[in-house]
């Protein structure tokens, strides 16, 4: 029983450390991108926040495809990455071209399991024991 209690306490400490680390930086994993896109009421604002947080624009489009967001909706989005020079005198933005958006969308649509969180794959079925 003591061993179980020690393992439980150790697990809580590790989980607490992980959540503190996540709170310091914005999570731009596939899971968080999927959650943000699938629960968003304003896709453009969500995409802007994800890109500003450091998410890969191609990954955002691919996850959108895997999440089932229509291609026409994704093509209407401005997927742009802002940049500034070291002295902040030159500001710029690079936006994904329509052909790049279509290519990234196709990657997500053709291989959705690569871009969906594991929980979206369905419940794990118990194996029969013989």
Range with top average pLDDT, 65-69, 80-84, 126-130: 65-69
For the chain, the structural domain boundaries read 26-114
pLDDT band, very low/low/confident/very high, at 82 (cuts 50, 70, 90): confident
Q: Residue 129: what pLDDT?
A: 67
- Report, as an integer, the average pLDDT of 19-34: 63
The predicted pLDDT at position 4 comes to 46
Q: How many helices (H) and strands (E) does the chain have?
A: 7, 2
Percentage of the chain modeled with pLDDT above 70: 62
DSSP assignment of 33-79 equals: HHHHHHT-S-HHHHHHHHHHTT--HHHHHHHHHHTT--HHHHHHS--
Average pLDDT, the chain: 74
Which one has a higher pLDDT value, 26 or 78?
Answer: 78
- Between 89 and 109, the higher pLDDT residue: 109
Q: What is the pTM of this model?
A: 0.65
């Amino acid at each position: 029983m003591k061993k179980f209690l020690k393992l439980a306490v150790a697990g809580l400490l590790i989980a607490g450390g992980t959540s503190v680390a996540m709170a310091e930086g914005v999570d731009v994993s596939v899971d968080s991108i999927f959650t943000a896109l699938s629960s968003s009421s304003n896709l453009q604002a969500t995409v802007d926040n994800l890109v500003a947080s450091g998410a890969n624009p191609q990954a955002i489009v691919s996850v959108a495809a895997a999440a089932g967001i229509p291609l026409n909706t994704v093509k209407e989005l401005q997927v742009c990455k802002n940049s500034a020079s070291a002295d902040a005198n030159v500001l710029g933005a690079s936006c994904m071209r329509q052909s790049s958006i279509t290519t990234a969308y196709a990657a997500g649509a053709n291989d959705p399991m690569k871009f969906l969180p594991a929980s979206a794959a369905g419940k794990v079925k118990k194996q029969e024991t013989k």
